[in-house]
Structure 1
């Protein structure tokens, strides 16, 4: 294609081919990988099953063999990000063209494919050693090309923001950053933080035998020796997965089939999943409130909600082979009837209300329904829960009834479900899902019910964890008792880790003692979460033994943040750690590193701006915040912090604009509303009252907001309203002395001295009043009584 503008490659990612060369005995170590082809001699049948599987083909080179096998059509043109993209074949290779009108801007050689069961995505090399997912993907079922970035929108939950697709060149689409661990085997990203470059290497494309069984070179050697001696070795020098427990099987699979992040550099089966990874739960807007998948969530969270695993030894390999196949493809119901034998024969029809040979009588179609994401990607719901059409009505989540009967309404399905003998089975999920929805919206009217779920460990560990994580957004201190209790007593490491994280900023004796205990937990995720929360605690209050425990956990925590040095959030979290330690300079350095790696990230810019302001560099603080607003003009945190900073500098007009944006994004943003009330009070008391009222209603736990409202009401000759506001405030905060003095002053100016005296006497009877304030109040009371 003469004259085309070729893409310049600044770094090339190398691929190490697997080797079948036999080594001398003294050259082999127990940590050496010999590649899947070394398994053929003794395990030919297993190799033949694995090689063509989608585990074996998780990543494939795009070459003449690939093109011949799949015969994908060329793609004429798809518009993406105001450019036209085409896929063509050239010399037994695939090339993506980027066009603007009739002008060729770039051509991208396609080197690898990912997936292929339902969708093929493709990789092209970019600068700095990145393999990037291109914006054209191929739908195998529909046999058509489509816009891949549109399939990976970011969900914003109930924030009012529209779901958005990331640009295709975004770092999150880089194979080296996001995909590599689950598509190739024995991989090293070889990331250089200083230059922000990759030199990624791997042993084999696809998920090979040694991913689950560990390095096999020594295994091959000892069995070759055993063959010569005609005896079986005692130690097979390999991981034998048939000896794994249910939890070990689940952990080994979850490494790729879970939405979470790594806290270590390497995972070796069958170690516990939570020794190496976190797990997203329903605080994540990629889930509907009832736990059904809204985004790409990779099974594990739903699996943890599965009632079957709580009541049996069911695990991933019960139903799937190690190569990912369905063990029960020929008789799907056999996977369930081994436990649920009453659901066979006549019992099957009674249970399903469908004919025995119909799709409606296959267990998986109702309990493990497959669903398309953005009409392309197919995932199965592994929570094994029954269809819940009422959840569709309330939350918009999918249900199996209407996935099959798509010409019917959820209301139609719900009537049928409720007519069943056990027709109330949806109620439990609907109850806690509504509470999840309210917690996401920061509506804490039913907090007592949320805390009861945590305290009594109701439903499952995903639900409990979700509430603990969501309660981080509440300032109500009554949450602490239940969270501390969960940390001390809950059997789930997921729950304990969430509780550890939730205690950040709580320096009470009970919280600190619980966190110190958690710092020696048997599971690493709990330990590092506890260490993160203890970062701001004065270590002088620890005993020598406690210092040692906390130091060990802190070391693990710091290591967890460099497990993925190319992940901006690792450096962001490191910044938070240094900030909690009181080291502002190191915190800024970490925040700036995060922003350098991923300029689109907002929180490093926002957090660093706070520290710059604290250190007296207002100009740099303002620069970072304005950069954050430029990236996301409607971001609440960026506009709030910018508004506060500008107000401090006396730039009131700009400050008002930023604070109003924050309040528009979040109508319950009390800090923005309060500061707006102060700013606008210079020109309009009526407007100040409106903003102060918003702040007081949004944060009844913060007495200064209601106090400010009463102040402006009195300024506006609304004395009755001011008295009512102060009265309500003192009902909630009876020892808030500013309000006591303010209300007493109103009484005295009206000549209602007796009411002022009664107010002081009532306040003096309140528990928790500091001695100095009590004496001052008593003196004021005495003065009033003597003046009569």
Structure 2
């Protein structure tokens, strides 16, 4: 007889043994040595300032002056402060802020990190339109951005998050990590930034060469350029001493702009204009909560992640085709901007857009570049340039331009009119394959494989598909994913390493080792994490030299992200790969010091406590999560498993019932609750729970087997046999089910 067991209460550790392969010896070549681009810091003295550029580039300087880049950050003075500091009081979410001047300086009295009110001096301004933020200096080199900002168009104070109450102890409070200038803002609002974070003291010594986004922030330090131009005069020709010059490859230009116009993970200690974007950063892929399942913007994505999804990007359209690179303004107003490339006779007419000429509905951007308001009043457009898809809106709850304008209509109406005007939507966009996988549909994995294999689709879509395959992780998924470690796209390779690198086993290290020699630092760093279970002496001879170099890059990545929750978790998970459970626990505890209400972190920490035999702290962690998020079903489920392992069965039953209450579509609690009832010899409830679960998932293997086991145990062999016959039909290669059936056949 086969008895079901409780699901293991610990971090998921996948140890499939398939696909082991020994790589052939490949010596380190001179070309491979050359992949390690310089990490040297550029001295601030090499940045000469904008006046040095003005002498020869007056036109560009004139465009840049007063732009968003010019005003990215300024010292707080009478000439830069736009807000009302005439003893003005603003109230929002129970917090009262008073803005005033004292001794010619600007101040705010507001709630601090201790929950009490204090006076804070404004040191810097941030931005110019449509809002201006204000920065306060805190101890240990921390600079914080106020949550209350000035609307420069309506001339009023407003709350950046008016519908979101934040407690002073939370990470999102203005005085803490969520609005910290050093790690959230500085790298892109000033020139030649070095964050200089010290983990032990949780302090910063952040430095920059120039306070704003200067000419040299994009074109690189001007020292050599000015020296050469002065020396050679009319004979001077650029020779790599400047970046982002005219004639630059469109894709390279996009990547260089992307440094600041994307959500990303930082890889290097600072950006020094060496190598490529992927030697310094790795972009956030299309994931839920940042994007809708079809790739449309949901949270802020800073443009790059959207733009590289588009046909525009893949047809070598680049940022400067639409934007003046110095003023950042668009080059033409209205549809004239799009008609630079698109034939007006075909697209700029009523037979294409089906709206009144010169109306809002006739504007290209309103159908193909919908947008959202971020930070309260900042409207940003989606740069994926997509055709509205009301059919996907119906399937996956994604937005579409049609009903964003026609707010009184439905998606069904939009789809009907789309078909009338354009025919059926063409199902060849990557979103047709990505959305099912991101939303967890039954056929989603196969769609993700199809998308990832098709190189005609955007790199970011293919990489996102591989990353999403982790949601279906099993031996089949791993076998499908391994091939992408040899993909031509560094995004795809890195996404594959992120997914497979989370597996805490050494079974696949021979697949990961070659990527220590990848030409992109981001890929190398992720490969190093993936082989984290190996000690240095276990590294094959042919990889010893490169291993040592990548180790330095990896440790730099850990250090430079250690002021983020994610960075501390990554270090903790690396220690877990090394088998150092105590260090992993300390790492997760350290992450909670930054964000004490991050219950994803606390859940993993509870699991680690349990693995370490610290049941008291594990239970305490679960109770804290329940107190903070009483409707989050996963916590009740995990807590129930803990109680079950501690043989506190009746208490475990209560938690599983709550898990079912708050996540009724999740099958796992039904399975485990039936086991708990069986342990209490309560056959009636054990049977009823499984039947209830099978109504949700009639083909669920675990539920069917458990029900068969219950019937067999409780002297109902005929019922058990009927179910096992069904299991054998569903899983003909499972010998355990055939053995079980044979045992039942002998029972009279």
State TM-score, norm by structure 1.
Answer: 0.79
In the alignment, does 2:317 pair up with 1:304? Answer: no
User: Matches of 2:615 and 2:83 in 1, distance apart?
Assistant: 59
User: Matches of 2:649 and 2:448 in 1, distance apart?
Assistant: 41
Report the number of matched residues.
701
Deviations 1:663-695 (A, max 9, x none): 444445555443332222205223223445677
Deviations 1:413-447 (A, max 9, x none): 44433222x43345444xx6465444344333443
Contact 2:346 2:352 in 1 (8 A): no
1:54 pairs with one of 68, 91, 98: 68
User: Matches of 1:165 and 1:588 in 2, distance apart?
Assistant: 20
In the alignment, does 2:519 pair up with 1:522? Answer: yes
Q: Secondary structure at the match of 2:282?
A: coil
Give 5+ residue unaligned stretches, structure 2.
1-41
> 1:682-721 to 2 correspondence within 5 Å?
682=680, 684-692=682-690, 706-716=704-714, 718-721=716-719
Residue 574 of structure 1 deviates from its aligned partner by 1.4
Contact 2:437 2:447 in 1 (8 A): no
Q: Which moved further from structure 2: 624-633 or 238-247?
A: 624-633
Contact 1:56 1:208 in 2 (8 A): yes
In the alignment, does 2:423 pair up with 1:423? Answer: yes
Contact 2:45 2:209 in 1 (8 A): no
Deviations 1:207-237 (A, max 9, x none): 111111212233333444446xx75377574
1:495 pairs with one of 492, 495, 502: 492
Q: Which residue of 2 aligns with 1:41?
A: 55
1:172 pairs with one of 165, 171, 178: 178
Contact 1:609 1:621 in 2 (8 A): yes
Q: Which moved further from structure 2: 272-281 or 733-742?
A: 733-742
User: Matches of 2:312 and 2:436 in 1, distance apart?
Assistant: 28
> 1:643-682 to 2 correspondence within 5 Å?
643-667=640-664, 669-681=666-678, 682=680
Residue 246 of structure 1 deviates from its aligned partner by 1.4
In the alignment, does 2:117 pair up with 1:105? Answer: yes
User: Matches of 1:114 and 1:638 in 2, distance apart?
Assistant: 40
Over 3 Å counting, the alpha-carbon distance change for 1:474 and 1:719 in structure 2 is same
Q: Which residue of 2 aligns with 1:277?
A: 281
Over 3 Å counting, the alpha-carbon distance change for 1:615 and 1:394 in structure 2 is closer
> 1:566-645 to 2 correspondence within 5 Å?
566-635=563-632, 638-645=635-642
Q: Which residue of 1 aligns with 2:482?
A: 484
Q: Which moved further from structure 2: 134-143 or 313-322?
A: 134-143
1:77 pairs with one of 82, 86, 90: 90
Q: Which residue of 2 aligns with 1:215?
A: 221
Deviations 1:361-384 (A, max 9, x none): 443333234433476221111111
Over 3 Å counting, the alpha-carbon distance change for 1:391 and 1:526 in structure 2 is same
Q: Secondary structure at the match of 1:111?
A: strand
Contact 1:118 1:140 in 2 (8 A): yes
User: Matches of 1:167 and 1:729 in 2, distance apart?
Assistant: 53
User: Matches of 2:504 and 2:603 in 1, distance apart?
Assistant: 25
1:198 pairs with one of 186, 201, 204: 204
Residue 629 of structure 1 deviates from its aligned partner by 4.3
Deviations 1:222-259 (A, max 9, x none): 444446xx753775743352243212211111111112
Deviations 1:324-366 (A, max 9, x none): 5234235x544433432x3348864433334554444443333
Residue 543 of structure 1 deviates from its aligned partner by 4.2
Q: Secondary structure at the match of 1:501?
A: helix
Deviations 1:159-179 (A, max 9, x none): xxxxx9944444112122212
Q: Which residue of 1 aligns with 2:249?
A: 245
> 1:127-138 to 2 correspondence within 5 Å?
127-138=139-150
Q: Which residue of 2 aligns with 1:10?
A: none
Deviations 1:282-316 (A, max 9, x none): 32322122221121111111111101221x22111
Q: Which residue of 2 aligns with 1:66?
A: 80
- Relative contact order, CA 8 A, sep 6+: which one is greater? 2
> 1:468-479 to 2 correspondence within 5 Å?
468-479=466-477
In the alignment, does 2:187 pair up with 1:181? Answer: yes
Q: Secondary structure at the match of 1:34?
A: coil
Over 3 Å counting, the alpha-carbon distance change for 1:556 and 1:406 in structure 2 is same
Bigger Rg over Cα: 1
Over 3 Å counting, the alpha-carbon distance change for 1:671 and 1:558 in structure 2 is farther
> 1:368-383 to 2 correspondence within 5 Å?
368-373=369-374, 376-383=377-384
Contact 1:97 1:108 in 2 (8 A): yes
User: How well do the aligned residues superpose, as a CA RMSD in angstroms?
Assistant: 3.8
Residue 630 of structure 1 deviates from its aligned partner by 4.4
Q: Which residue of 1 aligns with 2:12?
A: none
In the alignment, does 2:550 pair up with 1:544? Answer: no
State TM-score, norm by structure 2.
Answer: 0.83
Over 3 Å counting, the alpha-carbon distance change for 1:552 and 1:693 in structure 2 is farther
Q: Secondary structure at the match of 2:451?
A: helix
Residue 53 of structure 1 deviates from its aligned partner by 0.1
In the alignment, does 2:123 pair up with 1:125? Answer: no
Over 3 Å counting, the alpha-carbon distance change for 1:445 and 1:409 in structure 2 is closer
Residue 737 of structure 1 deviates from its aligned partner by 4.9
> 1:760-779 to 2 correspondence within 5 Å?
none
Q: Secondary structure at the match of 2:473?
A: coil
Over 3 Å counting, the alpha-carbon distance change for 1:99 and 1:551 in structure 2 is closer
Contact 1:500 1:518 in 2 (8 A): no
Over 3 Å counting, the alpha-carbon distance change for 1:199 and 1:85 in structure 2 is same
Q: Which moved further from structure 2: 365-374 or 212-221?
A: 365-374
In the alignment, does 2:385 pair up with 1:387? Answer: no
> 1:398-417 to 2 correspondence within 5 Å?
398-406=399-407, 410-417=411-418
Contact 1:568 1:595 in 2 (8 A): yes
Q: Which residue of 2 aligns with 1:343?
A: 344
Q: Secondary structure at the match of 1:379?
A: strand
Residue 575 of structure 1 deviates from its aligned partner by 1.4
